[in-house]
Structure 1
Amino acid sequence: MKLTDRFDDDVIEYRGRTIRLGLYFDVVLRAFELLKDTRFNTWEKVDILLDMFVENPESLAGLNIHEKDMLVGIIFDRFIYEQKDNKPSQGASTKKPPYDLEKDAEYIYASFMYDYGVDLFEQQGKLHWKKFKALLSGLSEDSKFMKVIGYPTMEIPNKIPAKERQRLLELKRAYSLEQTQTVDDIDAKFEALAAMMRPKGR
């Protein structure tokens, strides 16, 4: 995200149409849930995703399923992915702590209130996805979310009192996640879905 970005101008000019997008954080999070929903096939997901993302659905009239599919790919590529021109080396110092946006939802909510005084329920339909990701990355170490995601990866020193060591071990066990994902993992899932939905030869 750049400080010069304008999130009120999420507009695509596509096949002679002006398509306005509403990429609010809650919409994108619901899209995550859709990706895992096995009740819908690929083409149904294309239509649902466009219903979620597009604010002027009349602009989609007349598009066939393949054109809609290509539009979904453009939305992912231009507006949801983070462009990483210079990826850092994947050493220990650059590895991000694990977290799950669904399982940790209440910790994220509490942490946004604690650090920013932001009620995420009140921000539904208002807070842009990229702003949400930036705020999430900037949470303080004192916030509940940062504490929780730090426990599973915490290195417990040997030279501490036995009671404190036991307490930290219990916290590590309590907050270890069965399934973890990072922001990079989320972006990769979107990219995989978009690639799957693109027609061959695109």
Structure 2
Amino acid sequence: MNLYDPWPNEVTVNQHTYRLDLSFDNVLYALKARGDEGMTMMDRCETFLQLVIKQDIPPVADWVDVHNAIIDLITTAKQKPTRYDINGDPIEPKGEGEHIKADYDFDFDASYIYAAFRQTYGIDLVKEQGRMHWLSFVALFDALPDDTAFVRIRHIRSTRLGDIKDKKQRDAVRRQQRELALPDDENKEEGGDSYGS
């Protein structure tokens, strides 16, 4: 990202340039389709390309390359989840292989994200559908301040219970994590406590 070039709206792969619809709502919809486990990988890839590319999609042989070029274009380093300690300070991963579970979901947390954008920037995301570029949305999303409910919820979800020494405080945070759990976390918890102790 830089401030002297326009936001990118195309990718070039194998000497073919593809114009893209990178409005934030369209990208969110395409990413949701890309994660639909009810479809085959090829169907997911095709659907993603159909949603994002404004013209005919590439030949099947180029699908993966074009898909990866688009993902590289829309993915920023800050989109990786961050784990926090009990004080709300970010914790650096101990090793590159350490898995950090997601602390937000664009669909599940939609109302909190909408409210955070209204509170912080005065932006009505519904009115920005089809207009706000994905990279603009992500830059604002990554800069949401701690005084929004959405960021506080992310902090609670990503707190490691094992780092809390006080049992009462650990139990209180565990209770909050259960109340605010993402759908996948709730399903995992049915089989046991997925938050540690």
Q: Name the TM tier (shorter chain).
A: 0.5 to 0.7
- Any unmatched runs of 5+ in structure 2? 79-84, 94-99, 186-197
Deviation (angstroms), 1:105:
1.2
Distance 1:94 1:131, change over 3 A: farther
CA distance, structure 2, for counterparts of residue 83 and residue 176 of structure 1: 24
Structure 2 matches for 1:5-84, cutoff 5 A? 5-7=5-7, 9-15=8-14, 17-55=16-54, 57-58=55-56, 60=57, 63-77=58-72, 79-82=73-76
Q: CA contact under 8 A between 2:36 and 2:44: conserved in structure 1?
A: no
The residue number in structure 1 matching 2:191 is none
RMSD between aligned alpha carbons?
3.4
Alignment CA distance shift 1:28-1:157 (3 Å): same
Aligned residue type for 1:147: R
Q: What are the ranges of 5 or more consecutive residues in structure 1 without an aligned counterpart?
A: 85-90, 181-202
Distance apart, 1:111 and its partner CA: 0.6
- Post-superposition Cα deviations, 1:92-150, rounded to whole Å, max 9, x if no partner, equal 53468822222111111111111111111111111122221211111111111012222
Question: For the residues of structure 2 that align with 1:74 and 1:154, how far apart are their CA atoms?
Answer: 35
Give SS of 2:11's match.
strand
Summarize deviations over 1:147-180 as a string: whole Å, max 9, x none. 222223288795xxx9x99876653442233547
CA contact 2:30–2:52 (8 Å) conserved in 1: no
Could you tell me which amino acid in structure 2 is paired with residue 73 of structure 1? N
Higher RCO (C-alpha under 8 Å, 6+ residues apart) = 1
Whole-angstrom CA distance in 1 between matches of 2:77 and 2:144: 22
Alpha-carbon distance change, 128 to 166 in structure 1, aligned in 2, over 3 angstroms: same
Aligned to 1:116: 121
Q: Distance in 2 between matches of 1:166 and 1:93?
A: 21
Distance 1:157 1:113, change over 3 A: farther
SS in 2 for 1:12: strand
CA deviation vs aligned residue, 1:166-198 (integer Å, no higher than 9, x gap): 876653442233547xxxxxxxxxxxxxxxxxx
Q: Match for residue 150 of structure 2? A: 145
Q: How many residues align?
A: 165
Runs of 4+ in 1 over 6 A off after TM superposition: 154-157, 164-169
Task: Name 1:127's counterpart in structure 2.
Answer: 132
TM-score (norm 1): 0.65
Q: Give the Cα–Cα distance (whole angstroms) in 1 for the partners of residues 24 and 115 of structure 2.
A: 16
| AA matched with 1:11 | E
Question: Residue 166 and residue 129 in structure 1: after superposition, are their counterparts in 2 closer, same or farther (change >3 A)?
Answer: same
**TM-score normalised by L of structure 2:** 0.66
Cα separation, 2, equivalents of 1:15 and 1:27: 25
